[in-house]
Structure 1
Amino acid sequence: MNYMKINNCWSILMVFFGLISIGCSDEYLNKEPLSDVTAENFFLKASDLELYTNGFYRMFPESSIYSGDAKADNIITTTLSDEMRGTRLIPTTGGGWNWEYLRDINFFLENYQKCDDENAKKHYGGIARFFRAYFYFDKIKRFGDVPWYDYTIDPSDVESLQKPRDNRQFVMDRILEDLDYAIENLNEEVQAYRITKYSALALKSRISLYEGTFEKYRGITGYEKYLQSCIDASEELMNNAPYGVYTTGNHSSDYMNLFNSLETETSEVILSRQFTQSLAIDHNVNYYTTTSSYGRPGMPKDMVNSYLMKDGSRFTDKANFNQLSFIEEVSDRDPRLSQTIRTPGYRRKGESLNIAPNLGATMTGYQLTKFVTEPMYDTYDESVNDLPILRFGEVVLNFAEAKAELGTITQSDLDNSIQMLRNRVGMPPLILAEANSIPDPYLENQYPNVNGTNKGLILEIRRERRIELYMENHRWDDIVRWKSGQTITQPLRGLYFPGTGSYDLDNDGQIDVVLYEGDTPGNQTAGIQYIKLGADIFLDENNLVDPQPDFNNRTFDENRDYLYPIPRVELQLNPSLTQNPGWE
């Protein structure tokens, strides 16, 4: 691991240079010359600790915050991910096996006690522990067992440099110890862009659920303690933190407005990535979802089918549900559907004109609208709405799932968790007894390894999670921890079209799309999309849009594909490392 050869002074210098890009106050920029900064004259004041730990925030994802959905089966684009196609290769170097941030964190933890401000030491020590947990959780998810280091390594320390992997439960327990320290010592305040006690609790909820379900679905002994850890952290947030589910009482827009607001809604969002026009810190979600030249992302039909009817009944119980016109299939559904994709009546934020789905901008016909803001931000990398990293809505879903998987859930638990999300959009309650009495066959087909007393309820919680957390970077992690890789090999489909003809997609009585074969129609009408079958769009034998006709026979290797391979060079540098199963 060549990161360990960076000397201490260089580590501090890199933090300084990195922080300039994320913004510092003038007092930090007017410090002594960088050439004079050493471990001996730094870490002495609270401002030193703040400045150093600010560099850790670069670990958070930027616009790729929704990449976990495109990596799996939630977002279908012009190019399927290597994970979806089963075409990942062993890299020579890189591949996520990088450790620079860990060295910076451990170096801080070895030096921050020099500061004489006790409150600052507690808080910023907690931030460092939070980020070490965050760092190692990412490594565990990607590689499984990894070597645990809680100290910086001297270049001559061959034993440490060539250390074998530690057992994942050992590492997970160290992660939770770091989070417990952070929870105990971090400031207890609402700070959307900074780590607080509440951030640490939310991360502990997420990590504990991941590990508990990862181990349960692989028959690993001891998974129960992680599920209970998730429950405990979630309950602490639910009962003793100033957060809830954002709502103004408007069922038709509150879910959408939570995500298209330029500034973080701190009544629900615990931690977010800040974007701002003044500092040219931006992302590309508007461009990504509205242009025909950047991936053409679309929601797959199986997810559209998963949304319940507005009265709580199952859409997939309807006759011929897969062959309904677009207007029919999106009518009277869970309101989150119309606040996530374009449906009849959709208007861009700040606009008064209803607009239909643009088939040129989506591979499936179901055009994404979550996170989409005003048209003025449609240019590449011009979006500046904040993107959530941790929010209360996820915490209540974690709580309900952990209790269901542990077998301790009650109707009261559902009422105090998932029902808050459903109340926001005016959906009826999830009834425990009903869910378990007749499990949804459609969901059973998606997740065939769910069994036991709470089978029906667990399936319903998975439905709720996929819908509520759509485009928030959870789907790939969920597929992995549920050991449900075969789910992403199922057919990818889009809108139903009976064949060539003219179609009104927004129910305004006007033609929006013309599907044709052969020569391009003459005398075309402005505002109508002309789509050629077999060229611009493909239909399968059931007249459903097939967004990826070349990839209908995808496979997922159950013995290999839940983890990533360790790069070849790292195996050569450290002969104590072993390659992940199936990648040898």
Structure 2
Amino acid sequence: MKTIYYIHIFLFVLIIGILAGCKKDFLDRIPETTITPNQFFKTTADLETYSNGFYSMFGPSTNDLFSDNISVNLGGSEVDNMIRGKISPTNVGGWSWGNLRTINYMLNNLQQVKGDAATIKHFVGIARFYRAIFYYNMIVRYGDVPYYSSVLNPDDQAQLYKAKDPRALVADSVKADLEYAATNIIPTGTNTRITKWAALTVLARFCLFEGTFRKYHDELGLQASANTFIQRAESASKEVMGAGFSIYNTGKKGEDYQKLFTSQDLSSNKEMIFYDDYDKALNRANSTHYVFDWQWAINKSLVDTYLMTDGTPFTSSPNWDKKTYGEIFNNRDPRMAVTIMPPGFSTTLGGIPSKTRPTFGGYPQIKYYAIDPTTKVYTEFTDLPILRYAEVLLINAEAKAELGLLNQADVDITINVLRNRAGVAPLNMTDANTSPDPVLANMYPLVNGSNKGVLLEIRRERNVEMACEGLRFRDLLRWKAGKLLERPTQGMYLPKLGAYDVTGDGVEDIAILQAKDQEGPLDGLTADVKKNLVKYYLSDNSFYLSNGSSGFIMFPENISAPRSFIEPKYYYFPIPIQQILLNPHLKQPTGWQ
């Protein structure tokens, strides 16, 4: 049965509304208020009420937008605009400090709180957890930023207009907050609340990010401290691995994996470290139906990353680059067919199979799409993972590989646990290092050393296991693999113009033709088949084929506005110019000066 948390909504909204009421200059200001700390922060119940409002600051992600896993995103993005040269300090967004102010307001007003000391530390740990999340995001976006551990006094000009603090100081502060949270937040309770294990998981995630970022970004001059963070990623993940979590595996392969993202109730699922609880009775819904065929689809590069079930790379199989939509799912990692729409997929139980759209590339995302006959359009009540145990295993394996400590026993309790759930042959470390996959090696040219092959395979496993969970873009940043973003995206392969069966029933469903008056490729089809075809024309210029009348689906924007990833500039976003004008001590990130 789901645990429902009732909080003092009116009081919290009133306080937060007052705290968010106005701004001063380049930082959000703490305004004067009629509800003072002396009136509110008196009991641990007050801390609980206030900290409940932090939970909206860190939630589930259900797509890999802005990364190389996406073929087309009609909604647009800052990342896409940046690598097409359309972002500058004059038109960029961001630089919002409201959440930090809200968190620090609680941390700065604990003097009169009465109650059990451990309980007070628990809620302080939750506040520091969310402060770490805030600054983790700021590091990802800007690198160096001003660090504030206290609410700003509007008369403190030195603090309001100070320069950025070094990345090293900010990262150490994030780590310190997460260490405090992991030490003081209670380990027990529902997984819809922040626990010790959630704090340790984010600590491991952040330390892996920061450690590998420092290792591969030699321009920072922080490589000497990289292993300190990677070692903490390893030890923090190892601690979570001893806490009783487990991979959800009933032996149903892809179905087990799918249920992690489409279940009505995850409360008893031991893979969940932290999840978001949705409930039809409370009319608390999510919008995961939007993942399917709305504004984006999956890029061919992710399709190619999934292994064959025997553990061999798809890209080493005969004619792998000539396989059609109906052929690419044969003998593949079962996670692929519950992440990317396979032939025969229907959005309703027993319904008509969906026809893929070439205008998006042909590989719609179905991960998170729950087939539920009671669901209303674009309203879903499935619980959504925020932190799950599979990521902990991946962090542990990658950290050990980066440190040169990984052995086959480590692989067997991490990577191969995930492959076993999926129904894919296990990874043999010796074989991987003897013959590294050349496709992966080309994607990640900075990976070297005796562990090269297995580290590449860990990156593969991370991409397919965590696909569409919002981690891919940050992985590209930390691995210094931004050049992957400038590769033209691709869709499915078409050997010729004409009609194709994309639902798996043996009857042609769609047709790709040059123009409306050029339907010769359809000669020989029956009138009934022709009548039911959904036709797409190259002359409409929504896509083209790489070889003219055959090849991979490609997109005209990659010609009219080609992608270019400038290193190291595009590993950061610029600060909005108005903030620089307000505070001349701020300097733009590398490359944006």
Report the TM-score when normalising by structure 2.
0.87
Distance (Å, rounded) in 2 between the aligned partners of 1:12 and 1:149: 24
**Does the residue aligned with 1:494 lie in a helix, a strand or coil?**
coil
Contact 2:306/2:314, CA 8 A, preserved across alignment: yes
1:268 match: 271
1:141 CA drift (Å): 0.6
1:538 paired to 2:544: yes
**Does the residue aligned with 2:326 lie in a helix, a strand or coil?**
helix
Counterparts of 1:133-532 in structure 2, within 5 Å, are 133-219=132-218, 220-239=223-242, 241-264=243-266, 266-290=269-293, 294-295=294-295, 297-348=296-347, 351-353=349-351, 355-359=353-357, 363-374=360-371, 381-519=378-516, 528-532=533-537
- Name which of 68, 77, 93 aligns with 2:72: 77
Structure 2: state its 5+ residue gaps.
1-10, 21-31, 520-526
1:106 paired to 2:115: no
CA 390–88 in structure 1, closer or farther in 2 if over 3 Å, else same:
farther
Contact 1:494/1:544, CA 8 A, preserved across alignment: no
Alignment: residue pair count: 551
Counterparts of 1:539-554 in structure 2, within 5 Å, are 539-541=545-547, 543-552=550-559, 553-554=562-563
2:42 match: 44
1:557 paired to 2:566: yes
CA 504–17 in structure 1, closer or farther in 2 if over 3 Å, else same:
farther
Contact 2:12/2:50, CA 8 A, preserved across alignment: no
1:174 CA drift (Å): 1.3
Contact 1:208/1:227, CA 8 A, preserved across alignment: yes
**Does the residue aligned with 1:335 lie in a helix, a strand or coil?**
coil
CA 172–35 in structure 1, closer or farther in 2 if over 3 Å, else same:
closer
**Does the residue aligned with 2:285 lie in a helix, a strand or coil?**
coil
CA 18–260 in structure 1, closer or farther in 2 if over 3 Å, else same:
farther
Contact 1:340/1:368, CA 8 A, preserved across alignment: yes
Distance (Å, rounded) in 2 between the aligned partners of 1:103 and 1:12: 15
CA 258–18 in structure 1, closer or farther in 2 if over 3 Å, else same:
farther
Distance (Å, rounded) in 1 between the aligned partners of 2:239 and 2:261: 25
CA 404–425 in structure 1, closer or farther in 2 if over 3 Å, else same:
same
**Does the residue aligned with 1:221 lie in a helix, a strand or coil?**
helix
Contact 2:211/2:226, CA 8 A, preserved across alignment: yes
CA 149–36 in structure 1, closer or farther in 2 if over 3 Å, else same:
closer
1:355 CA drift (Å): 2.0
Distance (Å, rounded) in 1 between the aligned partners of 2:432 and 2:532: 45
1:378 CA drift (Å): 7.2
Distance (Å, rounded) in 2 between the aligned partners of 1:70 and 1:377: 28
Contact 1:227/1:402, CA 8 A, preserved across alignment: yes
1:26 match: none
**Does the residue aligned with 2:298 lie in a helix, a strand or coil?**
coil
**Does the residue aligned with 1:329 lie in a helix, a strand or coil?**
coil
CA 187–88 in structure 1, closer or farther in 2 if over 3 Å, else same:
farther
Q: Write the letter of the residue equivalent to 1:391.
A: R
1:6 match: none
Distance (Å, rounded) in 2 between the aligned partners of 1:92 and 1:533: 37
Distance (Å, rounded) in 2 between the aligned partners of 1:140 and 1:197: 23
2:52 match: 54
Contact 2:71/2:491, CA 8 A, preserved across alignment: no
- Greater mean alpha carbon deviation, residues 204-213 or residues 92-101: 92-101
Distance (Å, rounded) in 2 between the aligned partners of 1:89 and 1:487: 19
What do residues 219-239 of structure 1 show as CA deviations (whole Å, max 9, x unaligned)?
A: 322100000000011000001
**CA RMSD after TM alignment:** 2.6
Counterparts of 1:11-30 in structure 2, within 5 Å, are 13-15=14-16
What do residues 39-70 of structure 1 show as CA deviations (whole Å, max 9, x unaligned)?
A: 112111222111111111121256xx245x21
- Greater mean alpha carbon deviation, residues 227-236 or residues 174-183: 174-183
1:310 CA drift (Å): 0.6
1:115 paired to 2:110: no
1:428 CA drift (Å): 1.4
1:511 CA drift (Å): 1.9
1:25 match: none
CA 92–191 in structure 1, closer or farther in 2 if over 3 Å, else same:
farther
1:171 CA drift (Å): 1.3
Distance (Å, rounded) in 1 between the aligned partners of 2:554 and 2:283: 35
CA 278–76 in structure 1, closer or farther in 2 if over 3 Å, else same:
farther
1:91 CA drift (Å): 4.3
Distance (Å, rounded) in 1 between the aligned partners of 2:259 and 2:346: 13
Contact 1:190/1:270, CA 8 A, preserved across alignment: no
Structure 1: state its 5+ residue gaps.
1-9, 20-33
CA 288–346 in structure 1, closer or farther in 2 if over 3 Å, else same:
closer
